[in-house]
Amino acid sequence: MSSTTLVTGGTGLLGSQLVPLLRRAGHTVRVLSRHPGQPGDGVQQVAVDLLSGDGLDDALSGVRTVLHLAGGPKGDDVGTRNLVLAAQRAGTVDHLVLISVIGADAVPIGYFVRKALAEQIVTTSGIPYTILRAAQFHELALKTVRAMAKAPILLAPGGIRWQPVASREVAARLAELAQGDPAGRVADLAGPHTYTLEELQRGYLDVLGKHRLRLPVRVPGKAGRAYRSGVNLTAAVPTGVDTWEQFLTAQNLPG
């Protein structure tokens, strides 16, 4: 297969693992992020801020497949709207693949709410699409527990569970989806096990050989209730294969 494929967020954690897979599958890849990068073999780079949308028409020129990965804590709805409007103007895009998050429409936290809006913008765009919702990546789980473990007393929010997944496996699934026909919303992709936040914290501290006093806390409000009810979890199979424990071991953390 030979076509130009736009990967927004192609420089990020997920995108940088996806781009080589697309190259190997024969795609000419155009990576979009806010910062100009060095073009490589079969990989073009465009600097566009999706929040302003300036430059998107050029970025979409000749593109048939878009993998929309760019995102952050804020603005996923605005960026997705700008991207979709530009794709509609281009008229050449016949497959838009969006990465979203499990619980997008059910967890009342800004990031999730904006991801749900982004999904809605894509599903109502008239552009054939595929949406994959993934669980939190191992790297995010590590960042979270590492930040929590900096305090001398470890806050331990009760009832919060995660199913951390290998970003490598999410990238592989996206590459597979980009090769296929638009499939609508596909089965969620989570990691192989469900952990309480306390178990994630303990796994991290065990590897470091550290101990912390724990202070159980209850996350208040709607967000706390949503997490405790498990709307951020999925029963979808197949799951990813790599476990949190394997990920921690591979990090060679100073123990």
Ligand X SMILES: NC(=O)c1ccc[n+]([C@@H]2O[C@H](COP(=O)([O-])OP(=O)(O)OC[C@H]3O[C@@H](n4cnc5c(N)ncnc54)[C@H](OP(=O)(O)O)[C@@H]3O)[C@@H](O)[C@H]2O)c1
Q: Which residues of this chain interact with ligand X, rule CB under 6 A? A: 8-9, 11-15, 33-35, 48-51, 69-72, 79, 99, 101, 134, 136-137, 140
Q: Is the CB of 102 or the CB of 156 nearer to ligand X? A: 102
Q: Is the CB of 100 or the CB of 127 nearer to ligand X? A: 100
Q: Is the CB of 49 or the CB of 94 nearer to ligand X? A: 49
Minimum distance, C-beta of residue 15 to ligand X, in the bound complex (Å): 5
Q: Is the CB of 157 or the CB of 191 nearer to ligand X? A: 191
Q: Is the CB of 148 or the CB of 214 nearer to ligand X? A: 148
Minimum distance, C-beta of residue 249 to ligand X, in the bound complex (Å): 20
Q: Is the CB of 98 or the CB of 127 nearer to ligand X? A: 98
Q: Of all residues in this chain, which one has the CB nearest to ligand X in the complex?
A: 12
Minimum distance, C-beta of residue 215 to ligand X, in the bound complex (Å): 25
Minimum distance, C-beta of residue 56 to ligand X, in the bound complex (Å): 10
Minimum distance, C-beta of residue 208 to ligand X, in the bound complex (Å): 22
Minimum distance, C-beta of residue 76 to ligand X, in the bound complex (Å): 6
Nearest to 54 by CA among 76, 77, 34: 34
